[in-house]
Structure 1
Amino acid sequence: MATKTWHSLPEYQALRALMENGTTSQAAIRLGLSQSAVSRSIASLEERTGRMLFEREGGRLRPTDEAVQMNRRLDPLFAALDRIDGPPEVERETLRIVAPPTYAHRFLVHHIATFLTTNPHFHLSLEVASSEDVIRGILEERFDLGFTGVELSRDGVKLTLFRTSSAVCAMASDHPLAERDTIHPEDLNEQSLIAISHRHARRAQLENILHSCRSAPRIVAEVSTSIAAVDLAKEGLGVTVVNPFPVVQYRSDDMVFRPFASPIAYRSYIVSPEHRPTSRVARAFIRHLRLHTPKDVFSQKA
């Protein structure tokens, strides 16, 4: 005979109460029903499912394995009902951030920590990606805010200027050029240079400047991030020309930074969706950054 397929919450409640309390009398007290009502619910459940859920021995009911398995499967249902009937859950607003390595590791991590310490009701996630993937992630709405030092304008993406800076030379404190107040392109002639890779537009700009001044440094290493360039310079490998923001804010004690006399300029942007309102948590985080980003002599806030 085919079994009936509807569901009956009172029947499930009777099963659960009987399993937890052991007797129909105790189950009836818990549910506020009569013993006969509990017994009818159990009989109806057995008939509807085609399973024997309790064995009757001398007026007592003993649950079968089928009853134990059904009761276990009912756990998620009653847990969900408890959440519905219980106090409302407070959902924390989430901010999804994406940024290249230099901004993520050397700038945002610290500010995320201080922001969440003072705003524990918010939740943040941070993804590290290339500048191209930052733009793509915002366009695809996988992230709410991005940070980039590359002006990659796209329809649907808003770039908000956050910081401006001019190029600096970074080197170890015992480097011969560290004694100078300003480094000129000619000063780099025959110096060991740690260069940013060619995929960055600033690399071609630097090469044009050096070529026009007939300055020919020896490129000893090429790296894709200013973090790596500055770290190699700290190891004494040579000098590097980089964007001082934000590396100068965490390396000023163990590195020497000198202005590089050139037209090379950098801009740091906050990236957001153009056609979507900025959320409350995003506005709060941007405000936190603007208030707590320390001043430095090489960059200026927009």
Structure 2
Amino acid sequence: MHFDLADLRLFIQVAQGPSLTQGARRASLSLAAASARIKALEGQLNTRLLYRDSRGVELTPAGQRLLQHARLVMRQVDYLKNEFTDYGGDGAGHIRIFANTTATTEFLPEILAGFLSTRPGVTIDLQERLTRDIVRGVVDGSTDLGITAGPIVAPELQMIHFSTDRLVLVVASDHALAARDTIKLEEILQYQHIALHEGSTMLAFLREQVEQHGVSLLLRIQVSSFEAVCRMVEADVGIGVIPESSALRHRQTMGIKIIALDEPWAVRERSILIRDLEGLPGCVHALVAAIKAHQGSGA
């Protein structure tokens, strides 16, 4: 069985939707040519790959499986090209990263700035995703590596632990809870919270914990960063749950009190998720080493 790389690339473009027309345009093909190639691919595999209707296209179960394999094949082709550029070694390549809120806003920008400054041939696509989407992305090959926090069940992936953080409660210095050193989640459910934006990993995780108590999280305002959470907390607009590393940094310049959360889920093991490290190019190996070294330095 022979696969044309151009056909696999076209199939990926079409699978991203919402229609065959859009996929053909992204692949720089006419609609007729794209349709003929997809039909030929279905004939070669002897199975239907797409459901077609007036709304666009939808992958069949066989199409879902092909998409996963096609993405992995094309990523490997990209790796092969990068390995033979003029830069060589770990100095060239493109890395896609799916990461949680803390990683994308707190420590990865500093790591990536240093990493990229010494590797002009490397480009990076960093996307904030929910934990389930990070795991799925690494499994199906749509991302090279994932950065997560907390327990992960993904036996098919390699998990590289690189640091430990914990979630804490931050309140204004003169807040009614400011005298507390530790607190349970159930004790803060009646207070209004300052939280991150919709779609953030942190908000999704906190809501899961709160809903286990049979209530909803009381939101006063949602902001875009942990710094903004602390500024709102300092002004006594509400209280917030954030990583301890962020709270300690912002406490140096803001009037906030840090209270330990007496919950088993508050301790967060940070991990790098990879499908197969040995199969990834040198630039990814170098980035993994940079993340581990940065956290190991206590930064």
Q: Identify the TM-score tier after normalising by the shorter chain.
A: 0.5 to 0.7
**Aligned in 2, Cα 1:261/1:100: closer, same or farther, shift over 3 Å?**
closer
Structure 2 counterpart of 1:260, which letter? L
When normalised by structure 1's length, the TM-score is 0.53
| SS across alignment from 1:264 | helix
> CA contact under 8 A between 1:248 and 1:257: conserved in structure 2?
yes
Moved more, 232-241 or 133-142: 232-241
> CA contact under 8 A between 1:103 and 1:147: conserved in structure 2?
yes
Q: After superposition, give the CA deviation of every residue in 1:235-283 in whole Å (9 maximum; x if it has no partner).
A: 4222223443x53365343343221223333222211114753432222
> CA contact under 8 A between 1:94 and 1:122: conserved in structure 2?
yes
Alignment of 1:191-270 (within 5 A): 191-194=191-194, 200=204, 202-206=206-210, 219-221=218-220, 227=226, 230=230, 232-244=232-244, 247-248=246-247, 250-253=249-252, 254=254, 255-265=256-266, 266-270=268-272
Q: What does residue 145 of structure 1 align with?
A: 145
Q: What does residue 273 of structure 1 align with?
A: 275
| SS across alignment from 2:178 | helix
Moved more, 273-282 or 142-151: 273-282
Structure 1 counterpart of 2:294, which letter? H
Matched, 1:102 2:105: no
Moved more, 159-168 or 193-202: 193-202
Aligned-partner Cα distance in 2 for 1:220–1:96:
33
Q: CA deviation at 1:199?
A: 7.8
Report how many residues are paired. Answer: 203
Matched, 1:295 2:298: yes
Aligned-partner Cα distance in 1 for 2:231–2:156:
36
Identity over aligned residues, as a percent? 23
Aligned-partner Cα distance in 2 for 1:169–1:123:
36
Q: After superposition, give the CA deviation of every residue in 1:10-52 in whole Å (9 maximum; x if it has no partner).
A: xxxxxxxxxxxxxxxxxxxxxxxxxxxxxxxxxxxxxxxxxxx
Structure 1 counterpart of 2:246, which letter? V
Aligned-partner Cα distance in 1 for 2:283–2:193:
42
Q: After superposition, give the CA deviation of every residue in 1:181-236 in whole Å (9 maximum; x if it has no partner).
A: 33455763754444688984554545657x9xxxx999343869884755643442
> CA contact under 8 A between 2:147 and 2:273: conserved in structure 1?
yes
> CA contact under 8 A between 2:169 and 2:258: conserved in structure 1?
yes
**Aligned in 2, Cα 1:183/1:158: closer, same or farther, shift over 3 Å?**
same
| SS across alignment from 2:283 | helix
> CA contact under 8 A between 2:171 and 2:234: conserved in structure 1?
yes
**Aligned in 2, Cα 1:96/1:217: closer, same or farther, shift over 3 Å?**
closer
Q: After superposition, give the CA deviation of every residue in 1:94-120 in whole Å (9 maximum; x if it has no partner).
A: 322221333212221121002222344
Q: CA deviation at 1:126?
A: 1.5
Alignment of 1:17-96 (within 5 A): 89-90=86-87, 92-96=92-96
RMSD: 3.9
| SS across alignment from 1:177 | coil
| SS across alignment from 2:153 | coil
**Aligned in 2, Cα 1:113/1:173: closer, same or farther, shift over 3 Å?**
farther
Q: What does residue 130 of structure 1 align with?
A: 130
Unaligned 5+ residue runs, structure 1? Answer: 1-87, 297-302
Unaligned 5+ residue runs, structure 2? Answer: 1-84
> Which structure: larger Rg?
1
Aligned-partner Cα distance in 2 for 1:205–1:277:
37
Q: CA deviation at 1:143?
A: 1.9
Structure 1 counterpart of 2:260, which letter? P
Moved more, 267-276 or 193-202: 193-202
Q: What does residue 55 of structure 1 align with?
A: none
Q: After superposition, give the CA deviation of every residue in 1:136-164 in whole Å (9 maximum; x if it has no partner).
A: 22223232111122544346433322333
Aligned-partner Cα distance in 1 for 2:124–2:179:
43
Q: What does residue 284 of structure 1 align with?
A: 286
Moved more, 113-122 or 186-195: 186-195
**Aligned in 2, Cα 1:248/1:138: closer, same or farther, shift over 3 Å?**
same
